[in-house]
Homo-oligomer: A and B are copies of this chain.
């Protein structure tokens, strides 16, 4: 099919990305062959290579999608609830973690990306960039918490943000690796320790 519409091309690209993501979720980047992705997409070798010049390109696209997606969610949270307290923000963030913790969730790919970032410098740079911005959202939340009196005036927003940010992978890994505590229990633990007013 030549001279195909732009929307057709975009759809094909999405089809390949979705197939790759399913494969990588199931089996990781390295144990998934291009044949696997190609079969999952129901396309031919040539078709896939027209859209992604190499396996690395496909891996990178999916990795950036997954990592960037998480940042997008928190950015959305910051935009939609500009006056929310730390407690509620944390709860929304953990809801997002739960939603992506299933066998098809993005977190399984995220763990693969973390591992891949150990050996791929450019991917590491991307992750560092996105996660720094991600943590930046929490700095904003923490500043407002200091201003509103939710946190003591001498609290360092950067320091608080790094703890709140850290709670997310901490919770996510427990869910994925150990089956972990449910969100309510984890939040109860945070409440006991922190004394934030969680609803």
The A interface is mostly helix, strand or loop, or mixed, namely: helix
In the complex, which range does the number of interface residues on chain A fall in? 35 or more
Query: Contact: B185 with A128, CB < 8 Å?
Result: no
Chain copies in complex: 2
Query: Contact: A131 with B177, CB < 8 Å?
Result: yes
Closest residue on chain B to residue A187 by CB atoms: B159
> Chain B residues with Cβ under 8 A from A140's Cβ?
none
> Chain B residues with Cβ under 8 A from A112's Cβ?
115, 118
> Chain B residues with Cβ under 8 A from A189's Cβ?
156, 158-164
Query: Contact: B155 with A28, CB < 8 Å?
Result: no
Query: Contact: A178 with B132, CB < 8 Å?
Result: yes
> Chain B residues with Cβ under 8 A from A154's Cβ?
192
Query: Contact: B114 with A156, CB < 8 Å?
Result: no
Q: Does A2 contact B (CB under 8 A)?
A: no
Query: Contact: A181 with B169, CB < 8 Å?
Result: no
